[in-house]
Amino acid sequence: MSTDGQVRAVNAMFAVITTKSGVESGIDKRPLAGPVAVGALGLAGDRQLDTAHHGGPDKAVYAYAAEDLDWWAEQLGREFTPGLFGENLTLAGIDVTGAVVGEQWAVGTDGLVLEVTMPRTPCRTFADRMDEPRWVRRFTEGGRPGAYLRVVQPGTAAAGDAVVVSARPSHGVTIADVFPAPQPAMMARLIQAEDDGEITLAAAVRRRAARVAARA
């Protein structure tokens, strides 16, 4: 397998912050040195405070492309550092938003395998963190949501690790295709792929796919 990309930074919660909306959050994530253990619920040392909407096996790791961070930095005229978006993995060379739902990535040499599950949906906490006008709408319209990942096989991740696309489902529906307003045909394709045993959808994605596909 050839190398498709590289880990630019591995980020975990630095400190609990209180947003201007009065919500406590673990979104303040910063780079860690050395290999970091990654298990079924995410990175060692990381934390999600709003567990109703963040974390869990289907959102164990959040990945964002360094190239997309650079794009946003240019758009907004400010410096963007790894972890600013609350991402656990800042990746270079991988089209995160163009990844196929169910695609798997082998990371490093310690056996870590991650699977793409769903796009990130921007929230008020993210908007408070960024302190940019109309941020939720701007982020959505920017079409660069990044991807949540489940851990197929635990291992470690470190800055500089190679990232290899080790499996890619044939259905072809990408993170971009399901964010923010997916077409019924795309969602029907995801349901069929799961029914055929090709992928296992996150429960939230399956529910949304069923609702959208029913409109066709």
pLDDT digits over 2-42, tens only?
568 999 999 999 999 999 889 899 999 999 998 999 999 99
Predicted pLDDT of residue 48: 82
Mean pLDDT of 34-56: 88
Mean pLDDT of 197-204: 96
Pair 186, 35: CB distance under 8 Å? no
**pLDDT grade for 55, boundaries at 50, 70 and 90:** confident
Q: How far apart are CA 33 and CA 22, in angstroms?
A: 31
Q: Which amino acid is at 101?
A: V
Sign of the alpha-carbon dihedral angle for 52, 56, 58, 64: positive
Q: Does the structure show a pLDDT above 90 at 185? A: yes
Mean pLDDT of 126-150: 97
Q: What is the largest CA-CA distance in the chain?
A: 49
DSSP annotation string for 18-46: E-TTS-EE---EEE--S-EEEETTEETT-
Predicted pLDDT of residue 40: 96
Domain residue ranges of the chain, discontinuous segments joined by +: 5-176
Pair 63, 40: CB distance under 8 Å? no
Predicted pLDDT of residue 162: 97
CA atoms within 13 A on the CB side of 93: 15
Q: How far apart are CA 171 and CA 191, in angstroms?
A: 10
Q: Does the structure show a pLDDT above 80 at 59? A: yes
DSSP annotation string for 62-78: EEEEHHHHHHHHHHHTS
Q: Which CATH code fits 5-176?
A: 2.40.33.20
Predicted pLDDT of residue 23: 87
Mean pLDDT of the residues in the chain: 94
Q: Look up the pTM and report it.
A: 0.95
E strand spans, the chain: 5-13, 17-18, 24-25, 29-31, 36-39, 42-43, 61-65, 89-92, 104-107, 112-119, 147-153, 155-157, 162-167
CA atoms within 13 A on the CB side of 208: 15
CA distances from 184 to 48, 181, 209, 210 (A): 32, 9, 8, 9
